[in-house]
Amino acid sequence: DGGITQSPKYLFRKEGQNVTLSCEQNLNHDAMYWYRQDPGQGLRLIYYSQIVNDFQKGDIAEGYSVSREKKESFPLTVTSAQKNPTAFYLCASRQGAVYGYTFGSGTRLTVV
């Protein structure tokens, strides 16, 4: 079945370390997205990519970086510059503005 796979499900990071969250899709979707969710809050857009080798900053891109070298993959790196990285991270993809998103199951990142 087609879908989006995020890994790992839980991730612990020491302060000052960079960490990379994986997101892979086999839906052949052009666009991919990263969102952050804090407890009791809605989703906030970090980065998005409409095509391979191109991506745009969302509303809260500071302290994060992404790459889009393959259509299927859109990894997110949380850098040490991100002051409050503990959150639930969601990856999504979709094909065109009319169609809905397909979300992954998320990665919960905790800084220890």
Partner 1 sequence: DAKTTQPNSMESNEEEPVHLPCNHSTISGTDYIHWYRQLPSQGPEYVIHGLTSNVNNRMASLAIAEDRKSSTLILHRATLRDAAVYYCILSRTYKYIFGTGTRLKVLA
Binders of partner 1 among residues 59 to 88 (CB under 8 A) are 88
Question: Which of 45, 52, 60, 61 is the binder for partner 1 (CB under 8 A)?
Answer: 45
* Cβ neighbours, 10 Å, residue 91: 27
Question: How far lies 4's CA from each of 16, 27, 76, in Å?
Answer: 29, 8, 14
State how far the Cα of 101 lies from the Cα of 91, in Å rounded to an integer. Answer: 10
CA atoms within 13 A on the CB side of 93: 25
Closest CA to 88 of 112, 109, 74: 109
Q: Please report, as a single letter, which amino acid is at residue 65.
A: S
Question: Which of 73, 79, 80, 108 is the binder for partner 1 (CB under 8 A)?
Answer: 108
Per CB under 8 A, does 43 bind partner 1? Answer: yes
Q: Closer to partner 1 at the Cβ: 47 or 111?
A: 47
CB of 71 to partner 1, least distance (A): 16
Q: Closer to partner 1 at the Cβ: 43 or 52?
A: 43
Question: Which of 22, 27, 58, 65 is the binder for partner 1 (CB under 8 A)?
Answer: 58
In contact, 42 and 26? CB cutoff 8 Å: no
Residues that bind partner 1 (CB under 8 A): 31, 33, 35, 40-45, 48, 50, 58, 88, 90, 92, 97-98, 100-106, 108
